[in-house]
Amino acid sequence: MLDLNALLSSTQASMYTITVGQGINNGGQIVADGYLDATGEDVAFLLNSTTPVPLPPAAWLMISGMGSIGLFARRHTGHPSAKARLP
Alpha-carbon distances of 16 from 11, 51, 55, 81, rounded to whole Å: 9, 21, 32, 62
- The reported pLDDT for the residue numbered 28 is 78
Query: If you compute the radius of gyration of the chain from its CA atoms, what whole number of angstroms results?
Result: 24
Is the confidence at residue 8, as pLDDT, over 70? Answer: yes
| 21-67 pLDDT, tens digit each | 888 888 778 888 999 999 999 999 888 866 666 667 788 788 888 88
- The reported pLDDT for the residue numbered 41 is 92
